[in-house]
Amino acid sequence: MRNPFARRGRLGAVLLAFLLVPIFAAGQQSGGEKKEEPQVEMRWGVKIPLRDGVQLNATVFKPKDEKEPLPVVFTLTPYIGDTYLERALYFSRHGYVYALVDVRGRGNSGGSFEPFANEGRDGHDVVEWLAQQPWCNGKVAMWGGSYAGFDQWSVAKEFPQHLATIVPAAAAHPGVDFPMSSNIRGPYLMQWLTFTSGVTSNGQLFGSFPFWSEKFYEMYSRHLPFRELDRLVGNPSPVFQKWLDHPTPDAYYDAMVPNEEQYKRLRMPILTITGDYDGDQPGAMTYYQRHMRYGAADVTANHYLIIGPWDHAGTRTPRAEVGGLKFGPASVLDLNDLHRQWYDWTMKSGPKPEFLKKRVAYYVTGAEEWKYADTLESITKERRTLYLDSSGTAADAFHSGTLSAEKPHGAAADRYTFDPMDTRSGELERKEEEKPVLSERGALNLFGDGVVYHTEALAEDTEVTGYVKLTVWLAMDVPDTDLEADIYEILPDGTSIGLTSAIMRARYRDSLREAKPVPAGETVRYTFENFTYFSRRIAKGSRLRLVIMCPNSINLEKNYNAFGEISRESGADAHTAHISLYHDAGHASALELPIAR
């Protein structure tokens, strides 16, 4: 099941693969002769009372004939506990009681489901109830990724006494990467809300790419208001409408996640897991970085971070390939076993997992090896500045501008046009179920809706690890538009490898919480500091390509460039944007690269 919500247009479709999707596989299987596995006992239909009288449903698994109380691991999920059966069996065969708990309003749990709204308080009550059971020794932990990564942080901020540790993987962060990213939304919201509508699983419908692609393209090509999408797909949704009424990170989303004071009060060890191509990487890294910023030093010393070369699914079940890009065998960690070792360390006084040599473990693609650091910041040895320049025509991959250490000396500006009524890009996109990272054609800027810049071929292998920063000076004749920046490695044979991307809604150029119209014709600085984190050894002879455009995708809410309430705008509100990108002595547009070696 591929997620079509392209947070970052052409490249972003793979960066957001599997956002908030349950992972059905159990993990890697070890080779050799299969050993007889310990037997497991199950308790079906266990009811967990909450403070407001609602009861959540749990299926509990425990090692057979276990005489002593054990630590309990539980997953709190909207995807129905049965989805994670193999995980439950694995951990219950390795010395833990495991509880699969349906969130409020899903599966056999009582109450009504409002995504993200109740998991913190409900999870607190689940922890404390589990801790009082005769088969629990008073230590409770959580497992899960995506939505089940979010609810670990949401539960942690409620400070249940018996929560011993959390291991959030690919954790979605309301207001950061869901239900919008950089305040830009995608029609995938309705695909996910339909998946979690009612009380049972709608997995077949959720995974029907032809159905959703058809509906997304219909909205896109007919230039309908985004707010009409729920009715268009046949599932009117109060939650969808409520999310549209909260277009910025406001108090509604703030209440779902830890605040500064709550980060300061956290006392447990934490293991964060994400990936270079994980669509929820912005959320996972936001939690991590805020805890590093606000948490007590003795607590953050036991917060470990793993960044693999994975997509969203790979943060729980790694594969040595994403979107056609293949990785070395070392990339395929046995994350079930790593979780077990972590739980043994934090709840059974076992040794710290050997893999966690330092507090940050990151995989360098191209070099195909794991490296380690004490902090994220210590990885970067140099910030290398590359200035944008051109002869005035940086229209596509064959007539591009340059990226170099030299200050600009060519023409003062490059220009392009974005017409939100143009549907050519979407016509191609609706046929592409698989969004490649590795591509023979790459980002060629086929429709002239952006500009392209290249470096010279690199003289030596260069490891780029960290966050890229882009500053561009733009002038436009519309009060708002959406902007996208994509960065690729271009191999000597022309093959492109997607590295990272960022988007921005121009009205939020200074603050995600305050909209301001763009002054017509005025040259304004735009700073992109929301690129995804990545690590790659760029090969000698390769070039870097920077593409800057206005995204025009069936997988994004269309910005018609009018500065109205975007969810209510349609083709009738459309304005064509004429955009100039300046790179002269007074407007040095530049890309900053984090160089590790």
In tens, the pLDDT along 30-39 reads 444 566 789 9
Q: Which domains does the chain have, with CATH numbers?
A: 38-185+247-377 (3.40.50.1820), 187-246 (no CATH), 382-595 (2.60.120.260)
* Strand pairing class (144-145; 168-169): parallel
In tens, the pLDDT along 216-268 reads 999 999 999 999 999 999 999 999 999 999 999 999 999 999 999 999 999 99
In the predicted model, residues of the chain with pLDDT beneath 70 are 1-35, 434, 440-448
Determine the Cα–Cα distance for residues 589 and 583; give it in Å rounded to an integer. 5
pLDDT on residue 169:
98
Please say whether the beta carbons of 455 and 542 come within 8 A: no
Determine the Cα–Cα distance for residues 419 and 292; give it in Å rounded to an integer. 43
pLDDT on residue 74:
98
pLDDT on residue 147:
98
Beta strands of 320-448 (E only): which ranges?
Answer: 321-322, 325-326, 360-364, 369-373, 382-389, 401-404, 413-418, 438-439
Phi-psi region of 242 (alpha: psi -120 to 50; beta: other; left: phi over 0): alpha
Residues contacting 479, CB < 8 A, separation 6+: 507, 517, 518, 520, 561, 562, 563
pLDDT on residue 413:
95
CA-closest candidate to residue 245, choices 571, 565, 573, 572:
565
Please say whether the beta carbons of 443 and 488 come within 8 A: yes
Determine the Cα–Cα distance for residues 250 and 7; give it in Å rounded to an integer. 20
Cβ count near 491 (within 10 Å): 16
Determine the Cα–Cα distance for residues 164 and 181; give it in Å rounded to an integer. 31
Rounded to the nearest 5°, which phi and psi values hold at 330? Answer: -65, -20
Residues contacting 464, CB < 8 A, separation 6+: 499, 534, 535, 536, 537, 538, 593, 594, 595, 596
Give the pair of three-digit tokens for residue 169.
């993987």
Phi-psi region of 310 (alpha: psi -120 to 50; beta: other; left: phi over 0): beta
